[in-house]
């Protein structure tokens, strides 16, 4: 399975962290579901291969749409390929969906929503030209030009939430929400409302997810025990870290890392070329 990331045009970088592509040959037999973890981002997904199957406790597997928006996640999602994998994703920065979808992101948190339900005209445009060319590299400029034509006017709501998000990312979620609100001159309740309407998650929950994702980098950097990793990532203790793993991964850290797959690994933050605005060359 091959995972790649591509930088977006400068005008789009305010809204989208990157394009990413996941490709592999045809699946020759049934495969076990793979685990996707919350990361603080909304994704626009275009599937040029065979559809993926999503599994929940309520069903034995449902095929995902060909074009859809994966909202903010607060729990793991289990998916499996059914054939050839040719996925292209746009990873939005928190708040970056507003110019493209009129629906507040809180309304599709923890949901897979067909793009046609959120932005019918954009869905129609993306269903045509990008599917007519053969390579992912050829598709990227076409998608950028389509997004530029479909960006909505007068969507800016001020810099307060964007500044707060930037500070949360800079500090890996280890900054007081009260401090953020005071810095912006608004109340904690106002900050919560703004985050829900523009990001899809409250600031405290986004902070927890950013801190949770730092664990994967900490494990990669050092051969430390879980108590040391918990302290390095801002957890009160190891039990605090385990509680977050049970919510966001559905497993304890020891079990998750023992069963870590390549598919899960490429979608953790340690694999990315950028942390939203902190782009590395």
Please state, for a pLDDT cut of 70, what percent of the chain lies above it.
90
How high is the pLDDT of residue 272?
62
The answer to whether residues 48 and 108 touch, using CB atoms and an 8 Å cutoff, is no
Question: Average pLDDT, stretch 42-50?
Answer: 96
How high is the pLDDT of residue 159?
62
Within 64-126, strands assigned E span: 67-70, 77-81, 85-92, 112-114
What integer best gives the mean pLDDT of the chain? 88
Question: Average pLDDT, stretch 174-198?
Answer: 90
Token digits of residue 46: 């275009």
- Range with the largest mean pLDDT of 16-30, 119-133, 262-276: 119-133
Q: For residue 173, what are the contacts with CB-CB under 8 A and spacing of at least 6?
A: 206, 207, 208, 209, 210, 211, 214, 234
pLDDT value at 6 more than 60: yes
Q: For residue 158, what are the contacts with CB-CB under 8 A and spacing of at least 6?
A: none
Question: Average pLDDT, stretch 38-49?
Answer: 95
How high is the pLDDT of residue 134?
82
What radius of gyration, in Å, describes the C-alpha atoms of the chain?
19
In order of their start, the domains of the chain are 2-150 (2.60.120)
Question: Average pLDDT, stretch 226-252?
Answer: 93
Q: How confident is the model at residue 84 (pLDDT cuts 50, 70, 90)?
A: very high
pLDDT value at 54 more than 50: yes
How high is the pLDDT of residue 27?
74
Question: Which element (helix H / strand E) includes 53?
Answer: strand 52-56
pLDDT value at 277 more than 70: no
Q: What are phi and psi of 42, to 5 degrees?
A: -100, 145
pLDDT value at 187 more than 50: yes
What are the C-alpha distances in Å from 105 to residues 55, 78, 111, 176, 270?
23, 21, 10, 23, 25
Q: Which residue has the tokens 């199957």?
A: 53
Half-sphere exposure at residue 9, Cβ-oriented, CA atoms within 13 angstroms: 11
Task: Specify the higher pLDDT residue, 249 or 163.
Answer: 249
Cα-Cα end-to-end distance for the chain: 23
How high is the pLDDT of residue 154?
56
Q: Using CB atoms within 10 Å of the CB of residue 134, give its burial: 0 to 12 exposed, 13 to 18 middle, 19+ buried.
A: exposed
Distance in angstroms (rounded) separating the CA atoms of residues 105 and 95: 8
pLDDT value at 220 more than 90: no
pTM (predicted TM-score) = 0.90
Query: How do residues 242-267 score in pLDDT, each as one tens digit?
Result: 999 999 999 999 899 888 887 888 77
The lowest-confidence range among 14-23, 70-79, 219-228, 236-245 is 219-228
Q: How confident is the model at residue 279 (pLDDT cuts 50, 70, 90)?
A: very low
Distance in angstroms (rounded) separating the CA atoms of residues 120 and 75: 28
What are the C-alpha distances in Å from 206 to residues 3, 30, 69?
25, 35, 19
pLDDT value at 281 more than 60: no
Task: Specify the higher pLDDT residue, 267 or 147.
Answer: 147
How high is the pLDDT of residue 264?
82
């Amino acid at each position: 399975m091959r995972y790649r990331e591509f930088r977006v045009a400068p005008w789009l970088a305010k809204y989208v962290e990157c394009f990413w592509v996941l490709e592999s040959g045809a699946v020759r037999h049934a495969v076990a579901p793979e685990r996707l973890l919350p990361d603080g981002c909304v994704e626009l997904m275009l599937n040029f291969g065979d559809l993926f199957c999503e599994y929940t406790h309520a069903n034995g597997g449902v095929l995902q749409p060909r074009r859809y928006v994966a909202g903010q996640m607060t729990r793991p999602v289990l998916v499996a390929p059914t054939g050839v994998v040719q996925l292209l994703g746009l990873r939005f920065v928190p708040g970056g969906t507003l110019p493209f979808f009129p629906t507040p992101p809180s309304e599709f948190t923890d949901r897979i929503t067909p793009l046609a339900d959120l932005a019918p005209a954009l869905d129609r445009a993306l269903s045509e030209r990008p599917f007519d060319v053969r390579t992912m590299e050829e598709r990227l400029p076409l998608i950028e030009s389509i997004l530029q034509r479909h960006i909505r006017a007068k969507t800016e709501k001020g810099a307060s939430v964007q500044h707060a998000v930037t500070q949360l990312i800079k500090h890996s979620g280890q900054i007081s929400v009260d401090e953020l609100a005071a810095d912006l001159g608004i109340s904690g309740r106002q900050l919560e409302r703004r985050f829900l309407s523009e990001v899809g998650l409250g600031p405290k929950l986004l902070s927890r997810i950013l801190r949770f994702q730092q664990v994967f980098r900490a494990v990669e950097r050092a051969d430390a025990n879980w108590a040391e990793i918990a302290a390095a990532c801002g957890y009160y203790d190891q039990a605090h870290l385990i509680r977050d793993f049970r919510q966001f991964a559905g497993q304890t850290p020891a079990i998750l890392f023992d069963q870590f797959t390549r598919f899960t690994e490429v979608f953790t933050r340690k694999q990315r070329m950028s942390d939203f605005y902190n782009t590395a060359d």
